[in-house]
Amino acid sequence: MKLTSVVAQLLLAPLALAVAAPGVGKKISYDGYKVFRISTHHDAAEVKDQLKSLTAVPFNLNADEHLDIAIAPESLDAFNALELDAEILHQDLGADIKEEAKFAPYGGVSANAVPSLTWFNTYHAYADHITFFNDLAGAFPQNSEIFNAGTSVQGRNLFGIHIWGSGGKGSKPAVYFHGTVHAREWITAKVVEYISYQLLTKYSTDTAVKAIVDKYDFYIIPFANPDGFVYTQTNDRLWRKNRMTRSGSSCVGTDINRNWPYKWELTGGASTDKCSETYKGLAAGDTPENKGLVAFTKSLQASKGIKLYIDWHSFGQYILLPYGYDCSARASNHARQTTLATGLANKIRESYGTRFTYGPSCSTLYKTTGSSTDYLTDVAKAELAWTIELRPTGSSSSGFILPAAQILPSSIEQWEGMKYLLATM
């Protein structure tokens, strides 16, 4: 969920020209780009000013202590001449992207067979994700089905898997997950797939899992932004927004997580610049994706209510509680949420020692307006509505390009955390 500031737009300008028009066939190459972490010594504005003439792609320009940025080969000499306090995170971003994209083929399974755990050894093409979910639901027809929560700009279904236990489908409060809201955050789909897999495959053999599934109905949407995700696989690995065009602008895309119809009108947590990575849209909820997701959310609220909503993102290792729109606002059950977040962070850490920071979204990370979690908290009345930012931390060398070897560890630690949270909340 790392963002791009107004200054970052100046840095993005040389690249943005190459990807502005929809349907551009040329794939953006990051060969030779080096990614640096720059210590700002609490003077980020000065560092940004020094960088603004370079051809670069910002990973994070909202932090006060450091900036993460990919520098194009033609700007490396100029960057080095600045003599900033920096360390290298990626020696060659393009090479790391190529390594990540070594997808294993997925041919599906025989009728009613369970997909193999080898699915989680690599990343996969979008079409294979669809097949995986169909296979998973097909293996457990008494406890799951595929549903559709809406349609994307380019006509793709916002599909998900509905999982239920005793009492039949739709009889319990909802646990509701969104993945891949921001297109480049590939690990999020894998993690929600793993959680779905464990809920279904362990239901008949693990009493703790059965108790969880019998208590809630799970609605898990792995790709809230399918067009953007496909675009990261065909054109630009670092694409973030959806693929919506706007009249009078060559810039493409709206940030789905700044377009929800709650506190959208406030300033400081999103951009009105159509070229910005946090562009909020012309009106609250005006993207096709948000229209579908809002309608589906309302249907869950009107049915049995929403117990837990999680908006899965990467990166940074955060558990973010309400609110994003105001750094002093707190949810009415803030103390209880903090207790649960503390327990979740502790449980996640038990698997591999991975540490997650937790706290209110705005005061812990940065201000956001028109976000799903604020909408779910105050409008849809979810008891818990959190953002979880997955691996790696800001100090890791991988950022959005998380190596495939970390898919399973990331998924396992989150599953262990979810078992705690779902049993305790």
User: How do residues 356-389 score in pLDDT, each as one tens digit?
Assistant: 999 999 999 889 999 999 999 999 999 999 999 9
Tokens encoding 81: 């001449």
| Contact (Cβ atoms closer than 8 angstroms) between residue 254 and residue 201 | no
- The pLDDT, as a whole number, for residue 65 is 73
Could you give the CA distance from residue 288 to residue 290 in angstroms, rounded to a whole number? 6
- The pLDDT, as a whole number, for residue 62 is 62
Tokens encoding 215: 């208590």
Could you give the CA distance from residue 262 to residue 281 in angstroms, rounded to a whole number? 13
| Contact (Cβ atoms closer than 8 angstroms) between residue 4 and residue 12 | yes
Could you give the CA distance from residue 100 to residue 180 in angstroms, rounded to a whole number? 17
Q: What is the mean pLDDT of residues 268-294?
A: 96
- Out of 53-57, 87-91, 122-126, give the one with best mean pLDDT: 122-126
Residue with tokens 């696989």: 233
Q: What is the mean pLDDT of residues 61-74?
A: 81
Could you give the CA distance from residue 237 to residue 420 in angstroms, rounded to a whole number? 34
CA dihedral 402, 404, 408, 413 (to 10 degrees): -10
Residue with tokens 């039949």: 168
Widest CA span in the chain:
67
Could you give the CA distance from residue 311 to residue 318 in angstroms, rounded to a whole number? 12
179-204: per-residue pLDDT in tens? 999 999 999 999 999 999 999 999 99
228-258: per-residue pLDDT in tens? 999 999 999 999 999 999 999 999 999 999 9
Q: Which helix (H) or strand (E) holds 416?
A: helix 407-424
Q: Is 157 helix (H, G, I), strand (E, B) or coil?
A: strand
| Contact (Cβ atoms closer than 8 angstroms) between residue 4 and residue 52 | no
Is residue 1 scored above 60 in pLDDT? no
Query: What's at 403, amino acid-wise?
Result: P
Could you give the CA distance from residue 53 to residue 367 in angstroms, rounded to a whole number? 27
Could you give the CA distance from residue 363 to residue 411 in angstroms, rounded to a whole number? 27
Q: Which residues of 367-397 are buried (b: 16+ CB within 10 A; e: fewer)?
A: bbbbbbbbbbbbbbebbbbbbbbbbbebebe
Q: Which residues are catalytic?
A: 389
Q: Which residues of 335-350 are buried (b: 16+ CB within 10 A; e: fewer)?
A: eebbebbebbbebbee
Q: Interior CA angle at 336 toward 335 and 342, to 5°?
A: 90
Q: Is 29 helix (H, G, I), strand (E, B) or coil?
A: coil
154-182: per-residue pLDDT in tens? 999 999 999 999 999 999 999 999 999 99
Other Cβ atoms closer than 10 A to 299: 13
Distance of CA 131 to the CA centre of its chain: 21
127 class by beta-carbon count within 10 Å (0-12 exposed, 13-18 middle, 19+ buried): exposed
